[in-house]
A = this chain, B = another copy of it.
Amino acid sequence: MPQLDDTDLEILRLLVANARRPYSEIADKVGVSPPTVSDRIDRLQELGVIRRFTLDVDRSTLDAGIQVLIDVSTAPGTTEDVAESLASQNVVEHVYATADGSVVAHATVPEDAVHEVLEESVATENVESFDVRLLTDEQWTPEVSGTAFALECAVCGDEVTSQGETARIDGEFVAFCSSSCREAAAEEGQLAADSI
């Protein structure tokens, strides 16, 4: 994966705060020219770092219905499918799949339609149990973090960037700055079978 430099990160930070900011203004702030900003944004989209330009909408002012957090415990091996199925429902806005096999979804539905949403989107045999919590508030505060909480590579001690990898060893998470450092650790037999 290609490297992102500080200019890319700064452009992301500025766009996250205001995605309609003129490229000329971004160019001024990060110290490059407008065509360069345009090129880099295109590249960030091609890389999949920018998934899309969008709005943060306050749904409590907008949608008819009740906002809920649906927490589904999935059958082994079906977590990804369940996450995808829920994500494809248009009442579902945000989906999180967890390492322990549950899927958490934020949806706006009439209270008695939660079962309906699950039935329409998820095969019953994939749902071990589920839990629904009514939301009273929801906030999105995206930021492209700087170097706060930077991780250290367990092998070489360098800072772990977005190109790094992580693994689980005896239940503890360990980070590596690169796949070669991760492989070095693996060769030393440090990695458990459930490494990620």
Please tell me if the beta carbons of B136 and A55 are within 8 angstroms of each other in the complex.
Answer: no
A19 to B50, CA, bound (A): 13
Shortest distance between the CB of A163 and any CB in chain B (Å): 9
Instruction: Contact check, A64 vs B150: say whether CB atoms are below 8 A apart.
Output: yes
A180 contacts partner chain B, Cβ-Cβ < 8 Å: no
A1 contact set on B, CB distance < 8 A? 61
Interface bits A14-33 vs B (CB < 8 Å: 1, else 0)? 01111110000000000000
Q: A interface vs B, CB < 8 Å?
A: 1, 4, 12, 15-20, 47-58, 61-66, 69, 79-80, 83, 87-88, 90-100, 102, 104, 106, 108-113, 133-145, 148-151, 159-162, 164, 166, 172-173, 175, 196
A-B contact pairs, 28 of them (CB 8 A): A4-B62, A12-B55, A19-B53, A49-B62, A51-B55, A54-B55, A54-B56, A57-B144, A61-B162, A62-B144, A62-B162, A63-B162, A64-B149, A64-B159, A65-B149, A65-B151, A69-B98, A91-B145, A91-B149, A95-B138, A95-B141, A96-B138, A97-B136, A98-B136, A99-B134, A100-B134, A102-B133, A134-B173
